[in-house]
Chain A
Amino acid sequence: MAEKLIGQDIAPPDLETKVTGRARFAEDFRAEGMVFAKLLLSPMPHARVRRIDASRALRMPGVLGILTADDLPDPEPPSERPLTNEPLYVGEPILALAAVDETTAADAIEQIEVDLETLPFVLDPLESLRPSGPNARLEGNTFVDGEVTTVKWTEADYAAAGEDELPMGEYTSDWSIGDLDAGFAEADLVLEETVVHQSLTHHPLEPRSCMAYWQNGKLHLFGSTQSTARTHSALADMLDLELDDVVFVGQYCGGGFGSKIAGSPIMAVPALLSRTLGRPVMLRITRYEENYIGRARPAQQARIRMGWRKDGKVTAIDLYMVQDHGPYGSSGDHQAASAIASLMYQPHAMRFRGVSIYTNTPPRSAQRQPGGGQIAPMLEPLMDKAARELGIDRVEMRRVNAPDHDSTFGPGESKLTTAYVREAIDIGAERFGWSEKTRLSGRRDGTKLTGIGVGLSAFVGGSFGYDGLVVIRPDGDLYIHQGTGNLGTHSFADTARAAADVLGMPWDRCHVIWGDTAEHLPWSSYQAGSQTAHAHSRANHAAGNDAKRKLQEIAARDLGGSPEAYETGDGRVFRRSNPTQGMSFAQAARRAIELGGAYSGQELPDDIHEMTVASAQGLAGRGLIGVAKDNYTRENGPWSFMMGFALVEVDAETGEVEIKEYTGVADCGTVLHPRGVAAQIHGGAVQGFGMARSQKWVFDPKWGVPFAYRLYTARPPGILDGPLTMDWAAVSEPDPQNPVGAKGIGEPPLGAGAAAITSAIADALGGTCLCRTPLTTDVILAELEGREQPYAKLDTHV
């Protein structure tokens, strides 16, 4: 029997092509006769297109045509079109132009005159909520119960709050559990703070470039995505095509962080231009454009009231949140943030109230740990403050409040599969050396102030019910078809090992097929929300089991005995009692083809998705087909947890922060791939460091125009902004609802990293919570020097 593959370090199959530069990303594709498109972006934060005069551009040699919003279906507000006649943010694409090359296309864009009527705009939700404040959309400023509507607060609401507290007027969503008054009555300490978390652009390294052509009535689209199967279906929906008439190719993705979950709306542009022109069209998105159309995390302005018992137990949380969610759609980050707060600290009572307001800033979407990524760095310094006032060790405070397997949380009192939070805290405290390091809190050595921080973080770690599809071909090898996508986490390969382990197949005889829907891929989860590791280890396990059952049946049929008498391993199916008696997978695959029916995919289960049906039909007759829907247990929610520990030094004379040490410990079930988990823990932490320290938006409030649109002004973290080496570990207790024990771990590392830093900085400052992110040098230095803060308490986009 081959050694189990789950839990081993195995380089993913795309590694070599990536490091040698042979991997083809979206903009590397070429097709005969390919032309290029460029976009014309809105210079105004809110305007109406009165007239477009492209006549001069269209007369230029090499210019082939334009595409405007009029050429696209008009969705119901607040949905977004990839081109618009009513731009709702600076940088929103108004039209696309195609030409024989990009230089010509850019020159031609400059020859287009767009007559824009300016409309009122707003950048800050708190301005839109004022009684006579502007609305970001003509239809209103919020989205409630499926409709765009308007919510305004009263002057009295603002007056009641004063300048430095968040006003709390009418809210549009709320929930509560327990008796809030009783919760606060039980408290020995109550703290109240106004906290601001900024918006930030995803900025994956690869912008969302895409190329499209049409061949024999089918759209072939090459793009950058997190989720292959889901982009395939999204494209069909967006362009009103049959699934069969779309071929989507996206094998490599230079990062998405939630901004490319099902591809991007902009993919429609080359698709439609190509259809009109009859030529392949490449749209290369530049960094400047990516800044605008590349999605962003919603900002939140919150008022938090929390109560603690003497022993550190959180008795009550009262959370009021105003969310800035850009101009389109709806966002549930604030609701997720509230549910995660209730999960992390298990208050006896909690109330959440919130509004999510449209602004004329770039569109939002999920960004790695949506909601959880914001709430952890907002709340953890408050936990510290309470611990300090109550004289309790901060790690002990987290242990006292940590959820366990029986905990419930959120408005629906949701249940968990497992929660090994105390274990993660203990392992982390031991590895980090908490009891010794915590004595360094606030120590001054020369100009350096030491801060020790902790950050607890949680996020959903899986989903259910998707399909697995594997083929044992007559060459005797196992082909695992993956519809999940390859956003860079290796999970497309790691989850394939669940099928291989069921069959006892060595990895060098396994082939992962991914990233091209012409290659017959099964229906899959979104590669988002840390779903893949859990969802697709389940689905591949199910498909592996289906293949194994078929191998056992074929062996029993040909060699006698019952199917259960047979086992599989090392590419053979053999009799348990006499392993020399059996047949190779190659022989079994040929027999499956001869036998037909379910063995070779001619007959399929009735519960699999139509996409899987089509793919299995495409593979029928090519070997022994294992295909199944994941019907494993699905009672409770698989949630993953992360505990981060950081040691920082704050320079008392400059406000600079150096992150000297970081330890992250995950509760992510069974570790599928140690190196992969390490990459998630470290990568997520570094992204969190950037969120806590440097990355932000800056808008001119008078003109509604952003400035942090280059990487050097947006300031995502670099490799020098964290420690050279970082420590990690995992509790590695299996999740009972997953056949291989896995839970996803893509998201919680971000919030843990960010929170450990906001906590550590507050610690270095003697327990002062500056209650905003990012904690840039200017903000910290103003505090250290006792000067006025550079921004007002509630300012965003500064």
Chain B
Amino acid sequence: MAVIRDMIPAFELFQPASIGDTLALLDRYGDRSWVLAGGLDSFDWLKDRIKRPEAVVELGQVAELRGVREIDGGLEIGALTTLTEVASHPAIRERFGVLATAAGHVATPQIRNQGTLGGNVAQDTRCWYYRSGWPCYRAEGNTCYASTRQSMNREHCVMGGNRCVAVNASDTAPALIALDAQMVIRSPGGERVVDAEDFFIGPAIDITRMTVLEPSHLLTTIRIPSTWAGARFYFEKVRDRQAWDFALVNVASAIRASGGRIQDARVVVNGVAPYPVRLHAVEDVVRGRPVSEETATAGGEAALEGTRPLRHNDFKLPLMRNLVRRSLRGTQA
């Protein structure tokens, strides 16, 4: 059978107007369904005819999935809220600036107008072997094409690989983990709340998925607790072009400092593993130490624990180390 790309095959389109109706459809079609939000990840898959769902459930009519609400000093953000809204929302900017900054670094203004926060965290990996339809482990085949000596793996992982060396490409995911956010997931079985840190999974847990979301699950809301409101935040993304590019490495951090000392910190990087990586080792190193260049350097070095580069991505090591160091310095770039 010959392969053709760039032409979306026919599917049945559903546009439910409530979460209940959405869940009913997902329950009915199970793994033959596809949840469509902004479409930036979905349409690439559909156009390439590699993912071929029978039913596409488009969420645009589900008003209850949109918007930002106050909860107990924190915020609740509907999964369908656009990245532009997240980047520009006054309460997010004021209290959880790291998320607004991260959302503002995604792709392009046009994509941010269309793309949603839920879609940005739930997106699939951009490993080009996998996205080109190669039958790798992640695609339920029996090899990884990206990890051989000859493979082109400049943009692949330096840690956390397990039969798969793809990376998570989200810019908002590390910011959400830094903020200790919670992901609210609805399914026909009920509601489940998962810490952002546990929401993203690596190939060791399930090689075919980037998150805990199963086919009949819907990410409805993202809760940001008040815990880190107004903390010192840092976000930076390094990429090859200044727009329409995924991160080679990004970093998000939240720091509580008092009297010139770091009381507590959460430091998260993405683009280095199949999931956003919370750097507990870095946090442990810097906790209780003064905000200083020495602390930043020590934190940066700790970031490299457990890393192992592939043939073409050794540069991600110094890049991650330096970004972590910057995130600890005490000044937002």
Q: Write the residues of chain A forming the contact surface with B, with a CB cutoff of 8 angstroms.
A: 38-41, 43, 102-103, 106-107, 109-114, 286-289, 447, 653-656, 693-694, 698-703, 705, 707, 710-713, 715, 717-721, 776-778, 781-782, 785, 787-788, 790-791, 798
Contact = CB atoms under 8 A, between A and B. Distances in A.
B257 to A, nearest CB: 21
B145 A718 contact: no
Contacts of B154: 698, 778, 790, 798
Nearest to A109: B4
B238 A777 contact: yes
A782 B241 contact: no
Contacts of B145: 700, 703
A712 B240 contact: no
B109 to A, nearest CB: 10
B243 A777 contact: no
B238 A700 contact: no
DSSP majority for the B interface? loop
Nearest to B239: A777
A718 B7 contact: no
15 contacts: A38-B7, A106-B4, A110-B2, A288-B6, A447-B326, A653-B326, A700-B151, A702-B148, A710-B44, A717-B241, A718-B241, A718-B243, A720-B243, A721-B243, A778-B313
B4 A777 contact: no
A787 B322 CA distance: 14
Interface residues of B, number: 41
A61 B238 CA distance: 50
Nearest to B244: A712
A39 B5 CA distance: 10
B207 interface: no
Interface in B82-132: 108, 128-129, 132
Contacts of A720: 241-243
Contact of A114 (B2, B6, B129): B2
Which of B2, B3, B49, B132 is the most central at the interface, judged by chain A CB atoms within 10 Å of its CB?
B2
Contacts of B322: 653-654
A109 B128 contact: no
B206 interface: no
Contacts of B315: 655, 777-778, 781-782, 785, 787, 790
Given A654-B322, A656-B238, A707-B152, A787 B314 contact: yes
B9 interface: yes
B24 interface: no
B10 interface: yes
Nearest to B240: A694
B300 to A, nearest CB: 10
Contacts of B266: none
Contact of A103 (B7, B152, B312): B7
Nearest to A112: B2
A721 B128 contact: no
Interface in B272-319: 312-315, 318-319
Contacts of B2: 40, 109-114
A289 B6 contact: yes
Interface string B22-57: 000000000000000000000010000100000000
Contacts of A705: 132
B240 A699 contact: no
B245 interface: yes
Nearest to A103: B10
B323 interface: yes
A106 B152 CA distance: 30
Contacts of B129: 700, 707
B326 A782 contact: no
B152 A288 contact: no
Interface in B3-18: 3-7, 9-10
A106 B148 CA distance: 34
A781 B239 CA distance: 12
Nearest to A713: B128
A721 B242 CA distance: 6
List of 4 A-B pairs having minimum Cβ-Cβ separation, nearest first:
A286-B6, A720-B242, A106-B7, A653-B322
B297 to A, nearest CB: 12
A168 B323 CA distance: 43
A20 B3 CA distance: 37
Contacts of A113: 1-2
Nearest to B312: A790
A286 B7 contact: yes
Contact of A791 (B238, B243, B312): B312
A713 B241 CA distance: 10
A335 B84 CA distance: 50
Which of B6, B129, B243, B315 is the most central at the interface, judged by chain A CB atoms within 10 Å of its CB?
B315
Interface string B227-255: 00000000000111111111010000000
Contacts of B241: 694, 715, 717-718, 720-721
A653 B245 contact: no
